[in-house]
Structure 1
Amino acid sequence: MLIKDIMTPIELTLLPEQPVATAWRMIRDLGVMGLPVTDRNGTLVGMVTRDSLIEGGPELLSENPAVVSIMNNRVFALREDSPITDAWSMHGTVFPVLNDKGETSGVLDKGIVAAELLNKANGIMLQIDTILDSVSNGIIAINKDGIISLYNRAAEKITRRPKSYAMGRHLSEVIIPQGLLDFVNNGKEQTECKLTVAFKNDNRTYLTNRNSIRENGKIVGAVAIFQDISELEQISEELDSVKQLNRKLELIIESSYDGILLTDRDGTIIKANRAHERITGIPSAQIQGAQMTELIKMGVYSHSIIDEVIKAGESVTRVENNHYLVTGNPVRDLDGKITRVVVNIRDLTELNNLKEQLEYTRELSERYQGELVQLRSKLNTPQDGIVYNSPKMREIIEATSRLATVDSTVLILGESGVGKEVIAKLIHNESKRQNGPFITVNCGAIPENLLESELFGYERGAFTGANREGKAGMFELANNGTLFLDEIGDLPLGFQVKLLRVLQEREVLRVGGSKPRPINVRILAATNRNLEEMLEEGEFREDLYFRINVVPLTIPPLRERKEDIIPLVQSFKKKYELKYSFNKNINARVYDIFLNYHWPGNVRELDNMIERLMVTTQGPEVGVEDLPSYLFENHIRTEPEICVRGVMPMKNAVIQLERQLLHNAIKEYGSANKAARALKVNQSTVVRKLSRLKDLGYDFKIQ
């Protein structure tokens, strides 16, 4: 910014012989802090400031001397095109400004310069904050008292604490100090120190650099920079796995009964295994780095199969000297260019002796290999609508992939809301019937007098009010597909025998019909009732039970697979953010409550809870105060409420624990009496401990 951008333009100047009163009126009317004094030729000779007039007092105006008597002869003039920093470095409070012709064109108040420089400094600080927030490494700085003074966005992810919470708080309230406070005292520097932070279901590894902050040679704070290297650690482990895999591949190549020859596209031999040496009689070390033409001269090959593969651009197989079956396979790079050729050589004499056995083995191998590839593909492919992280659900998903390859009847058991229909759809979508219909029937929602017509259909005129053309039942609609009988335990006992006949005969007889219709339907059933108890009480037919209970599959309730709760919450959160077009965060304490609640309604209850919180919570974050009260009254705790990750004197640890408990209780309940009830101690105990902590320097605001 230049002087001319912030100066006050003036057209009038003072003359040395003008009275002081005139100077005062002109300064007042123009609203400036001073005016330049020029002679009759316009040459700048001095400066009269408002401060000099005020210092003269009322006597100066009453005597009304000439301007020359009070003007400052040592004038520092500024140019219009000079930067404003020139004014800040000069002595004085107001300066005359000259244009490019050397004429007086305005005056500049140093206070305005200070304001502009302050705005510029604030802008620079805002840019610095923006830059720090864009850095992927977490940065935390504290002053000499341990109070956080710098905290970027990446640090929020590391500490799981928002910036609004962390700024101005003591470091120990945000993250376990891990020695950072020591740098305020000793001033040492520590670089590339590994630090592992344990969160629930997630351990992260950070590389930290810590150092003291100095000002005028004195230590005024400390700063720590955290770089998340969890992925790098994982990549390092994967690289080790790749190295081990390469060693295994090397062993596999050397263990191959067939001779293997690896060459580049020019025919230079890169590697030959021991089997190639056994078949051809030529030592592998002798041909390492040799050309394929040398093997042709030795009579092993009649001509170069490498050239044939390069020319054809695909695998080439031929018989050499009536003894060897030779196959050349191209190896391409990412651009599709052939860079290597793998030559496989086999002794035909041995091949002929094992031909029949090999063909049989190959047939089995191809079939099982295809099934294995298909099964692995399904296991490694994310399942639509399935969110899980627990070993129990992983076993269920693996079981569904195996069951999808067959047509066996599956009985899916589990409490209401655990996702039985989702598992049924998954089995159908991965089966050979995936292009056929998937029909769901809620057996408990259909009146008993309509069950037969709904499931088996009816002929034209079968009963009053029937469709004139008749109607196909659910079994017919599911033909060549899957029929999911949900809540099968709610079927009336009298109808169960009719269903059993359809399942046994694989045909249905419409109501009012005389000719059975064949059906090709896979049956999946589900219930949340105990069918074995119903058998003992005579409420469910034994023969139907054994017909549908071919492969039982029990879905565990959500309380037994708590590893799935947080992934499910994140999935439901994204679903409703997309549905309602807004974003909200969920406080870490809310996750703790969710993990400790027993979820009698299972996944369905959790889904409904997230939608309720997303649409009813005001503000950008769902907090503990937004949760319904029954989550606190009926939850069960399976995780330790206190987790100690560092080592400190036990006395200090007890003080810190009491301080945090009392701080949280007072903050949440507002009074010592209510806090005492929440902590299940006497009010006098709370008051006594508060007094003790106050003596140690901690203060609490209570009602």
Structure 2
Amino acid sequence: MDQLMKLASQRSNFFTEILNSIDDAIYITDKNGVTLWVNHISEIMTQVPREKLIGRNVRDLEREKVFSPSVTRLAAEANSNISTVQEVRDGRKYIATGHLVKDENGEVMAIVAHCRDITEAVKTSSRLRDTEELLEKYSQELRKLKIPIHTSNSVTKKELILHPSTEELIGKIANVDTTALITGETGTGKSATAERIHLLSNRHKAPFMQINCASMPEQLLESELFGYKKGAFTGANTAGKHGLIQAAEGGTLFLDEIGELPPHLQAKLLHFLQTKTYLPIGGREYIKANVRIIAATNRDLEKMSEEGAFRSDLYYRLHILSINLPPLRKRKEVINDLASYFLETYNQNYRVNKRMNPSVLDIFQSYHWPGNIRELENLMERLVILCDTTIDEKDLPQKMMENKLLPDYMKAAEQSDSMPELLESIERSMILDALRKEKSTRKAADKLGVTQSLLMRRVKKYGIDVHEESAI
């Protein structure tokens, strides 16, 4: 220190030369914010000569937008050192810190503002963020292409199972990291959908674990989910056990049939969703976990929550993002493609070359498929194994043949949930039949006893491909 003071005494502008050599702005004011001295970089920063700054109060300069906000003013008002991002007239941004210089009594003598240009860093950060978002988008598209046709739990093809709008929704849900709920009847592809969300997400390299909440008793289900500590209960593993939450660390845990979860575990799951921590059976300390939860159910959770059968707070927590998978009977257009796909798949699996009579597909179209895609898949496997070279009507289950003999309106009634749906189904069937039998929409309209314009409005309503149906 003595050597430093000696140098200062030998050169009157010693300290000002030091401050001017710094690449950051140094701005010194008295305790009231009146400018006492600024270094050369401060002049460049404010685009104002030093002589026009000295003697000016920072509050006046702030009102004139020379810099905004004034870190000196903020430090004076807070009576403490303050850091903030400061912007000057040309739009450049600085990280600014106001330092209070106090005397031996703790009284403020002066305020020194130190400012560093971060404009390029902000631009680089912004470009980096944009690039990362673009890379993530491209990565998801590449993952879509790389996801194998066969998923781990079912032989399904996503293009056939998922409606384009559903596939788009899956992509959006995969991009975020919050809880998701998949609803739909049994066999509509909920497990495959959950796994697809995981594979398209940034968690795709981590585990995808799943459990059916209806498949085991409450005590066993709790230990499977949350694990247990040594000696937690009679018969427990002496070393304790990790649960599925811990096994899915960094990845996704899929809870199928979430509507069957017992009340006690509903509360425990809600706690995990809210805090990302859980307590193993017999444990005394909560464990933190980085796991995304995707749930699925074939039940009406909203109605269950209203009736007190399911916690409403858990329902709303699960229902942040939701996908509803329609039943197969409402997606007749994919039945033939799915049947052909499963036929080809099991022909390859069992190294055979079975064929299918087109009349079988007609029966498939009129059947209501209570078991949905899973029922169709299982049926095709059974037919490939048991049938001769060609799969004929005689090889189909009796219930399908009985359904074939029903009048059309009764078939429609079986497949409809309400009277409006029944009437629409009958109307659609009549239009399809007329279009198949007639060579033009005009003749089809005459056969139905309606105008051609009315027929075309109904064709548009039901999404019927006129050219395709007329060519049959």
For normalisation by structure 1, the TM-score amounts to 0.39
Residue 390 (structure 1) shift: 6.5
Structure 1 residues 627 and 468: CA distance shift in structure 2, 3 A: same
Structure 1 residues 564 and 406: CA distance shift in structure 2, 3 A: same
Equivalent position to 1:384, from 149, 172, 180: 149
TM-superposition CA deviations, 1:662-702 (whole Å, max 9, x none): xxxxxxxxxxxxxxxxxxxxxxxxxxxxxxxxxxxxxxxxx
CA contact (8 A) 2:143 2:199 kept: no
In structure 2, what is the equivalent of residue 644 of structure 1? 437
Q: Give SS of 1:412's match.
A: strand
Question: Whole-Å Cα distance in 2 between the matches of residues 587 and 451 of structure 1?
Answer: 46
Question: Whole-Å Cα distance in 2 between the matches of residues 527 and 545 of structure 1?
Answer: 11
Q: 1:457 aligned to 2:250?
A: no
CA contact (8 A) 1:379 1:398 kept: no
Question: Whole-Å Cα distance in 1 between the matches of residues 226 and 130 of structure 2?
Answer: 44
User: What amino acid is aligned across from residue 390 of structure 2 in structure 1?
Assistant: E
Question: Whole-Å Cα distance in 2 between the matches of residues 381 and 463 of structure 1?
Answer: 45
TM-superposition CA deviations, 1:130-188 (whole Å, max 9, x none): xxxxxxxxxxxxxxxxxxxxxxxxxxxxxxxxxxxxxxxxxxxxxxxxxxxxxxxxxxx
In structure 1, what is the equivalent of residue 236 of structure 2? 466
Structure 1 residues 581 and 406: CA distance shift in structure 2, 3 A: same
Question: Whole-Å Cα distance in 1 between the matches of residues 329 and 188 of structure 2?
Answer: 10
Question: Whole-Å Cα distance in 1 between the matches of residues 185 and 340 of structure 2?
Answer: 23
Question: Whole-Å Cα distance in 1 between the matches of residues 345 and 162 of structure 2?
Answer: 24
CA contact (8 A) 1:378 1:401 kept: no
Q: 1:545 aligned to 2:315?
A: yes
Q: 1:370 aligned to 2:135?
A: yes
Q: 1:614 aligned to 2:405?
A: no
CA contact (8 A) 2:268 2:278 kept: no
Equivalent position to 2:399, from 604, 612, 630: 630
In structure 2, what is the equivalent of residue 580 of structure 1? 350
Residue 493 (structure 1) shift: 1.8
Structure 1 residues 539 and 438: CA distance shift in structure 2, 3 A: same
Q: 1:513 aligned to 2:283?
A: yes
Question: Whole-Å Cα distance in 2 between the matches of residues 478 and 566 of structure 1?
Answer: 37
Instruction: Count matched residues.
Output: 295
Unaligned runs of 5+ in 2: 1-118, 151-155, 405-410, 413-427, 448-472
Structure 1 residues 539 and 391: CA distance shift in structure 2, 3 A: closer
Bigger Rg, which one: 1
Question: Whole-Å Cα distance in 2 between the matches of residues 380 and 615 of structure 1?
Answer: 31
Question: Whole-Å Cα distance in 1 between the matches of residues 187 and 208 of structure 2?
Answer: 20
In structure 2, what is the equivalent of residue 205 of structure 1? none
Counting aligned pairs with the same residue, the percent is 42
Question: Whole-Å Cα distance in 1 between the matches of residues 141 and 223 of structure 2?
Answer: 42
Residue 423 (structure 1) shift: 0.6
User: What amino acid is aligned across from residue 644 of structure 1 in structure 2?
Assistant: K
Question: Whole-Å Cα distance in 2 between the matches of residues 449 and 433 of structure 1?
Answer: 30
For normalisation by structure 2, the TM-score amounts to 0.57
TM-superposition CA deviations, 1:380-423 (whole Å, max 9, x none): 66652342556962221222222222211110000000010001
Structure 1 residues 361 and 436: CA distance shift in structure 2, 3 A: closer
5 Å matches for 1:413-492?
413-492=183-262
Residue 625 (structure 1) shift: 2.4
| CA-atom RMSD in angstroms | 2.8
Q: Give SS of 2:175's match.
A: coil
Question: Whole-Å Cα distance in 2 between the matches of residues 590 and 529 of structure 1?
Answer: 32
Higher-helix-fraction structure: 2
CA contact (8 A) 2:228 2:240 kept: yes
Residue 449 (structure 1) shift: 2.5
User: What amino acid is aligned across from residue 131 of structure 2 in structure 1?
Assistant: E
Q: Give SS of 2:169's match.
A: helix
Residue 599 (structure 1) shift: 0.7
Equivalent position to 1:498, from 265, 268, 290: 268
Residue 555 (structure 1) shift: 0.9
Structure 1 residues 355 and 490: CA distance shift in structure 2, 3 A: closer
Equivalent position to 2:324, from 528, 532, 554: 554
Residue 527 (structure 1) shift: 0.4
TM-superposition CA deviations, 1:645-673 (whole Å, max 9, x none): 648xx9xxx9xxxxxxxxxxxxxxxxxxx
5 Å matches for 1:326-365?
362-363=127-128
Question: Whole-Å Cα distance in 1 between the matches of residues 125 and 238 of structure 2?
Answer: 58
Q: Give SS of 2:437's match.
A: coil
User: What amino acid is aligned across from residue 373 of structure 1 in structure 2?
Assistant: Y
Higher-strand-fraction structure: 1
In structure 2, what is the equivalent of residue 70 of structure 1? none
Question: Whole-Å Cα distance in 1 between the matches of residues 239 and 354 of structure 2?
Answer: 53
Residue 361 (structure 1) shift: 7.4
Q: Give SS of 1:592's match.
A: helix
5 Å matches for 1:44-59?
none
Structure 1 residues 509 and 391: CA distance shift in structure 2, 3 A: closer
Residue 641 (structure 1) shift: 4.0
User: What amino acid is aligned across from residue 414 of structure 1 in structure 2?
Assistant: G
Residue 376 (structure 1) shift: 4.2
In structure 2, what is the equivalent of residue 224 of structure 1? none
